[in-house]
């Protein structure tokens, strides 16, 4: 069964916001066995919305629309859908009661525009939006389903999880789709492909392999499609195992989870703790870790020692080291990592010091020079990286390299 996603809003087309909704929806639909054929972003324009919807209905059976349901004048989705499906508008009593209680609960007065949020096309099924005032609307036409949801991410997510996907599952006999992802580091895309060429050629036609390079690492994704989820998982696992043993030493994680989530899981399993000492990554590693619920069991905290004085006062890096080798040096990285382990009382610590750019280069240390050190019960290791000239990319690649190094040291510490 195919679905399409249409996101409505000029703010996406002019690049004011990044459309993160579609990726999330694509993932949830895939897990439910629904393949997304196309994602289309269109402007707040009735003719354009109608055109995109008509085209999508030719390709897919289920069309999920987000956006354009707010209370203001640029929000035209529901009127456009009413016209598209040749329906009038009616005021929905249940929605009105919900909107009223929503405003009452949050202790805010209600305006005429808020009342109009209860107006819906006469002929759609209204699904209440527990997290906001714009209702979700479900249209059916022949065998085709069109659902309009608010674009506010957490409102959409709740509706998808609790209402839309369960209804679609009930309605259609969905095929099984199974993805398996292997994260590798240290080998380029072409070299990976060359190393596993025979394994790739041996894949059955219902299993596809994709190479996804990102931040100096490459993800291998096997996607299988069939009828029996368990059988697909077992079959995919065989191919994944073959690839992993061929690539042993380059495999960082054998599942599609972020590096920092793998780190948290592995630390938790072994009752170990970690801290961070970040200079050029500026708190990004700590942020990645603390996005995840339950991280407090393994992460005590860290320091963002952007200025040299914090490297001394909080981490205990010696003034002599800073003066002799500089802030961006193996010696400073090592003292930062050791200092974090000592002062924050953790089993592991990672330290990153480098020149993210565009300023800060010194002779012999161009922008992109980054030292990463990991202190562990086994001692301290450090490694030099030479990334490129882009600040944001240097931060992201440094964080990925730091987390990979932590995972590798954690594995060594185990052996």
Among positions 370-389, residues that touch a copy of itself (CB under 8 A) are 388
Establish if 149 lies at the interface with a copy of itself (CB under 8 A). Answer: no
Of 11-19, 84-92, 120-128, 264-272, the window that binds a copy of itself (rule: CB under 8 A) is 11-19
**Which residue number, 42 or 380, has a Cβ lying nearer to a copy of itself?**
42
Q: Give the three-state DSSP class for 52.
A: helix
Instruction: Give the x/- contact pattern for a copy of itself in 313-332, rule: CB under 8 A.
Output: xx------------------
Q: Which of 276, 321, 353, 376 binds a copy of itself (CB under 8 A)?
A: 276
What's the closest the beta carbon of residue 1 comes to a copy of itself, in angstroms? 14
Establish if 285 lies at the interface with a copy of itself (CB under 8 A). Answer: yes
DSSP result, 185-245? ESS-HHHHHHHTHHHHHTS-TTEEEEEEEETTEEEEEEEEEES-HHHHHHHHHHHHHHHHH
CA–CA gap between residue 128 and residue 123 (Å, rounded): 15
Distance of CA 230 to the CA centre of its chain: 26
Q: Which of 175, 186, 216, 282 binds a copy of itself (CB under 8 A)?
A: 282
The answer to whether 366 and 385 are in contact (CB under 8 A) is: no
Establish if 13 lies at the interface with a copy of itself (CB under 8 A). Answer: yes
CA–CA gap between residue 96 and residue 91 (Å, rounded): 8
What's the closest the beta carbon of residue 214 comes to a copy of itself, in angstroms? 7
Ranges within 188-207 binding a copy of itself (CB under 8 A): 188-191, 193-194, 200
Establish if 79 lies at the interface with a copy of itself (CB under 8 A). Answer: no
CA–CA gap between residue 355 and residue 341 (Å, rounded): 23
Of 24-32, 168-176, 264-272, 402-410, the window that binds a copy of itself (rule: CB under 8 A) is 24-32
What's the closest the beta carbon of residue 220 comes to a copy of itself, in angstroms? 10
Of 228-236, 243-251, 304-312, 368-376, the window that binds a copy of itself (rule: CB under 8 A) is 304-312
CA–CA gap between residue 131 and residue 135 (Å, rounded): 10
The answer to whether 217 and 185 are in contact (CB under 8 A) is: yes
Establish if 359 lies at the interface with a copy of itself (CB under 8 A). Answer: yes
CA–CA gap between residue 222 and residue 232 (Å, rounded): 11
Distance of CA 106 to the CA centre of its chain: 31
Q: Which of 74, 94, 227, 228 binds a copy of itself (CB under 8 A)?
A: 74
Report which secondary-structure segment, H or E, holds 393.
helix 391-414
């Amino acid at each position: 069964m195919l679905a399409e996603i249409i996101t409505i809003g000029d703010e996406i087309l002019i690049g004011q916001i990044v459309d993160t909704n579609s990726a999330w929806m694509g993932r949830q639909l895939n897990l439910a066995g629904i393949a997304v054929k196309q994602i289309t972003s269109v402007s707040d324009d009735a003719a354009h919305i109608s055109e995109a919807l008509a085209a999508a209905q030719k390709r897919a059976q289920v069309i999920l629309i987000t956006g354009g349901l707010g209370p203001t004048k640029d929000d035209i989705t529901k009127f456009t859908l009413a016209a598209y499906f040749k329906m009038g508008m009616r005021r929905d009593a249940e929605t009105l009661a919900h909107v009223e209680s929503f405003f009452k609960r949050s202790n805010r007065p209600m305006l005429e525009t808020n009342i109009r949020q209860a107006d819906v096309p006469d002929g759609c099924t209204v699904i209440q939006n527990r997290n906001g005032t714009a209702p979700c609307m479900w249209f059916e036409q022949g065998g085709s389903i069109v659902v309009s949801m608010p674009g506010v991410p957490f409102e959409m997510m709740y509706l998808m999880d609790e209402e839309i996907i369960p209804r679609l599952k009930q309605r259609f006999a969905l095929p099984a789709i199974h993805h398996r992802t292997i994260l590798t580091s240290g080998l380029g895309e072409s070299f990976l492909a060359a190393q596993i060429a025979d394994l790739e050629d041996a894949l059955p036609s219902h299993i596809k392999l994709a190479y996804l390079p990102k931040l100096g690492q490459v993800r291998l994704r096997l996607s299988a499609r069939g009828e029996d989820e368990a059988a697909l998982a077992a079959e995919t696992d065989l191919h994944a195992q073959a690839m992993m043993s061929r690539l042993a030493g380059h495999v960082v994680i054998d599942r599609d989870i972020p590096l920092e989530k793998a780190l948290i899981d592995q630390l938790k399993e072994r009752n170990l703790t970690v801290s961070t000492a970040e200079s050029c990554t500026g708190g990004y590693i700590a942020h990645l870790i603390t996005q995840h619920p339950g991280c407090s069991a393994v992460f005590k905290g860290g320091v963002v020692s952007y200025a040299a004085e914090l490297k001394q006062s909080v981490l205990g890096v010696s003034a002599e080291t800073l003066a002799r080798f500089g802030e961006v040096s193996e010696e400073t990285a090592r003292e930062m990592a050791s200092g974090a382990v000592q002062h924050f009382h953790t089993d592991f610590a990672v330290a990153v010091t480098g020149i993210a750019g565009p300023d800060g280069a010194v002779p012999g240390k161009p922008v992109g020079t980054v030292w990463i050190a990991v202190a562990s019960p086994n001692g301290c290791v450090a490694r030099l990286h030479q990334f490129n000239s882009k600040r944001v990319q240097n931060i992201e690649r440094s964080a990925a390299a730091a987390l990979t190094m932590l995972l590798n040291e954690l594995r060594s510490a185990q052996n």
